[in-house]
Amino acid sequence: MNETIAKKVSLVLHPFALIIPFLLLAVYSPHINLQSSAFWFIVSFVPFFLIPFAIFIYLIKNKIISSHEGEQREERPVFFLITTIMWLISAGILYFFNAPKNLFALILSSAITAAIITFVTLRWKISVHTGVLAVFVAWALLVFGLPATPLLILLPISLWARYKLKYHTIAQLLAGIFVGAFSTAVVWWIV
Q: Is the pLDDT of residue 23 over 90?
A: yes
Q: Look at phi and psi of residue 145 and say left if phi exceeds 0, alpha if psi is from -120 to 50, else beta.
A: left
Domain span at 81: 2-190
List the one residue out of 148, 143, 49, 54 whose CA is nearest residue 103.
143
Taking the mean position of all CA atoms in its chain, how far away is CA 61? 22
pLDDT of residue 56: 87
Percent of the chain with pLDDT over 70: 95
pLDDT of residue 10: 93
Q: Is the pLDDT of residue 171 over 90?
A: yes
Cα–Cα dist 9/161, whole Å: 6
pLDDT of residue 74: 74
Cα–Cα dist 141/32, whole Å: 21
Query: 78: pLDDT confidence band, cut at 50, 70 and 90?
Result: confident
Phi, psi torsion values for 14, nearest 5 degrees: -65, 140
Query: 42: pLDDT confidence band, cut at 50, 70 and 90?
Result: very high
Q: What angle do CA 106, 107, 110 make, to 5 degrees?
A: 90
Please tell me the total count of domains within the chain: 1
